[in-house]
Structure 1
Amino acid sequence: MAHFLDTVVLSRIQFALTSSFHMLWPVLTTGMGIYLVLVEGVWLRTRNISYYHHARFWTQLYLLNFGIGVASGLPMEFQFGTNWAPFSEAVGDFFGSILGFEGSMAFMLEAGFLGIMVFGWNRVPGVIHYLSTIMVAFGANLSTFWILTANSWMQTPVGGELVNGKFVVKDYFAAIFNPAMLNSVAHMFLATLETSLFVVGGISAWYVLNRRHPEFFGKSLKIALAVAIVVAPLQIAVGHESALHLRENQPTKLAAMEAQWETLPAGEPAAYTLLALPDSEHEINPWSLEVPYGLGLILDLQPNLQKPVLGLKDFAPENRPPLIPLIYYSFRVMVGIGFFLAALMLVSTVQWLRGKLADDQITGQTWLMRAWLFAAPLGYIAVEAGWIVREVGRQPWTVYGLIRTSDAASHVPATDVLGSLSLFTAIYGILFVSALHFGRRILLHGPNLELPPPGLGSQSARTEMVPDRRPTEVSA
């Protein structure tokens, strides 16, 4: 009990709670923003009214996620001053400016144009409205860029040095473009987009299963599938590059991800541990299921390792990540979901090519629609699991190799942190229930297919709209 009444432990739990909860919402807005840009662009290009109705329907879910994201994100950032003041004081010259860029460049851009995107359909010209949608999507993804830039610097801190306990920036651009930045941004960008695509596809599948507007939601599912054909395999490739990066820059994290206790020397074959039961106390895996030559093939594309893979025993216990089983299985959950989504994309593409996703066929694809419905929350789980690997695997450092987590926490009474943690838990629980309630209302109500598009000042103009009522239309 005394261990859990420790200020550092409670501060870490609180930040884990707030960041994990907050992450659920911008994950969807960053990806769905791109989806809205796509469908509105097609609407302006083709004047097919179905795409206009798609833009209006999915914007409702975007707005809901944006609101919960703002409400949960601002308190999270305040913790850098309340719970992690020594960290902020030490690295604020760089870290604080990056978060400032995120707020002033990205969040303000997204928030500033959001009102036009939501309420400006009949108030501004179509090209201005489309520009607003683009700016909202750009702002959401620019926010991801700056946040991942700050976090990747914490993973691979370069561009300066600690002087008397304060990080002095000597090369600002080197700090921004640190070794982990490009891969981190790409991996998270693809994760948010892939999650959003399968949420859109899963919701569409739910409507198809319930035979509610199957033509309309068959279209949105095929749009999501068309983009996922590129995104799903690309995410796997970028994830592979992440492992290669860890081998060079964070070997303790890679060892924890693989529960690798002993160093594997170069020039020898290395098996991949598919499943294991890591025992941190005895520094062994008493049970494991291995794939011969697997690790060498994954890391070096050949059976024998070209470079050694360091084991956890090569590092002092105080410099190893904690909770090895959590890191080990979180990594496998993330990877397993990534391959499942790619497999679902492949099977769905085959069915599409066979004509099974046509308007008059899609309602008969019960098993496929159920698979998409099952996949809808998996992206969230994969993102959360990947963030556990990223953050817990970085421990015991807040800034890897420079500032320990135990030295980064504020010196406040543990009871105060316990009180704020309890309050955050209650408030975030209310926010989560509220989001489910309003999301359910949006889904039960469904799209308004009678909503007239903007700019139709005459009956003749109305007749020029493509009605999208053909029962055999199969294009997305």
Structure 2
Amino acid sequence: MGNIPRVLYPFLPSYGPDDANVTGVLNLAALLVNYTLDGYGSMALSNPGFTHLVGVFYLNPYISLVNPDAIITTFHTLFAAYAIGLGVVGTALSVRYLGTRDDKYIKLLRPILWVLTIVLLIEPIVLGHFMGDTVVKYQPLKFTALVTLTGGKGVYGYEFYDPIEALFAYGNPYHPIHGFEYYLSSCNALGNTTFVELYEKLDPSMINYISGISNLTLSSYCREAVLSLEPIAPLVSAFYYTMIGSGIIIAIAAVLVLFTYLIRIPVLTDITDFINYRLLSPLIGYYNVLPFLTMVMAFGSAIAATAGWAAREIGRQPWTIYGLITTNEVVTPVPITPVFVAYVLAILTAIAVGGSLAMYYVATGPGILRNISELLRGGES
């Protein structure tokens, strides 16, 4: 995208080489904004002549697959999926062991734990760090929203200090972090230029299609985007720190499992043995420590993944496609009702339950099917 996004949002960085057609990008922006004034952006996508009006978007169609954000996001998402899937299998084996005390389930659990612990040490520590770097570099406004709860009132000013976050983000605990007022001031740099004035220079043929926003200034459009994130910033931050906290817990659990039950390394094993056998064992039982840590990793992974997804998706408001259309607008032109929300939640719940049962079946064999069959027969009698 190069510097094209900076035309609408001056505070954004450069997004690599100029592989996007500037006229096509701004045409898309104007058309979507124009449609959303009277309805929803998805109405534009259903217009047969819409793509013709936009024109060529990418000069290199493969650029979206090789950009830095896409690469790290792909690995981060895959490892999160591995962690959740392995966690479900590990939980199933742990529950079976706790119910039967049959050591065969511990033997089956060990190879699962080898993969799970390595994944959980790479995912939150390595991939999580690089994921954070991409947010700081390419999505500065989202980063401000993420640290709202620890940034204090300064978040809503021009700049503020958050030593811990600044240390991880910039390598310097005294590096200032931009507040919302900084982004609003950046928007003001666009002046009083209107969309019609912009398109008179870039593509006069589009003026007839942007009548609804012809007198809208670029600065007010930019400010509205920033102001729309401010009210939900605390929620975004809450999800973010839930993800961070869960990530720390599962990483600790992974270390305790790795150096006590899977590999023995002097000093490290002494520390993990002390925690597992001297601290945890008296509380939950000697033979329950490993199943307990397995379930901590499993549930912690699910919580971290869910909170991380929420922080990412809510934090990207009001943008989805390079800041050109909001999530609500791109999904459907039909108003979202409570009935529809309940319907979607029911489908997602069914997928989650069905997927969990399927992974449980893979881990433990046909026993779950027999149990369900017996329950059904018992209900019939």
Report the TM-score, using the length of structure 1 for normalisation.
0.47
What's 1:371 paired with?
Answer: 293
Equivalent position to 2:66, from 157, 177, 182: 177
Q: Does 1:387 align with 2:309?
A: yes
Q: Show the counterpart of 2:225.
A: 319
Tell me the secondary structure at the aligned position of residue 320 of structure 2. strand
Instruction: Give the corresponding residue for 2:168.
Output: 298
Q: Deviations over 1:66-124 (max 9, x none)?
A: xxxxxxxxxxxxxxxxx86346459999xxxxxxxxxxxxxxxxxxxxxxxxxxxxxxx
Equivalent in the alignment of 1:195 = 84
Asked if 1:423 is matched to 2:346, the reply is no
Could you tell me which amino acid in structure 2 is paired with residue 333 of structure 1? T
Map residues 11-160 of structure 1 onto 2, 5 A cutoff. Answer: 85-86=42-43, 88=45
**308, 311, 319: which one aligns with 1:397:** 319
Cα shift readout 1:234-254 (whole Å, capped 9, x = no counterpart): 212111111111122110110
1:426 deviates by 4.4
Supply the distance in 1 between the matched residues of 2:330 and 2:49 (Cα, whole angstroms).
Answer: 12
Q: Secondary structure at the match of 1:176?
A: helix
C-alpha distance in structure 2 between counterparts of 1:220 and 1:258, whole Å: 41
Matched with 1:56 is: none
Residues 404 and 424 of structure 1: CA distance in aligned 2, closer, same or farther (over 3 Å): closer
Q: Contact 2:42–2:329 at 8 Å: present in 1 too?
A: no
CA distance in 1, matches of 2:115, 2:338: 44
How is 1:330-349 mapped onto 2 (pairs within 5 angstroms)? 330-349=239-258
Amino acid at match of 1:399: I
Q: 2:90 touches 2:112 (CA, 8 Å); kept in 1?
A: yes
CA distance 1:347–1:427, change in 2 (3 Å): closer
Question: Which residue matches 2:109?
Answer: 221
**SS of residue matched to 1:323:** helix
Closer/same/farther in 2, CA of residues 400 and 377 from structure 1, 3 Å limit = same
Aligned partners of 1:339, 1:301: CA distance in 2, in Å?
20
Cα-to-partner distance string for 1:397-442 (whole Å, 9 max, x where unaligned): 1213233446535433x3x755433433445556666667x56994
The number of residue pairs the alignment matches comes to 267
- Correspondence 1:207 to 2:96: yes
Q: Check conservation: 2:93, 2:364, Cα contact below 8 A.
A: no
The runs of 5 or more residues in structure 1 that have no matched partner are 1-82, 94-161, 261-272, 285-289, 358-362, 450-476
Return the offset for 1:205.
1.8
Query: AA paired with 2:177?
Result: V
TM-score normalised according to structure 2 size: 0.58
Q: Which amino acid aligns with 1:169?
A: Y
Q: Which moved more, 1:180-189 or 1:377-386?
A: 377-386
SS of structure 1 residue aligned to 2:62:
helix
- Give the whole-Å Cα distance in 1 for the aligned partners of 2:48 and 2:252: 43
SS of the residue corresponding to residue 376 of structure 1 reads: helix
SS of the residue corresponding to residue 315 of structure 1 reads helix
Distance 1:296 1:419, change over 3 A: closer
Counting aligned pairs with the same residue, the percent is: 23
Alignment RMSD (CA, Å): 4.1
Q: Which runs of 5+ in 2 are unaligned?
A: 1-39, 185-222, 277-284, 368-381
How big is the shift at 1:341?
1.2
Mapped partners of 2:70, 2:55: distance in 1: 22
More helix per residue: 2
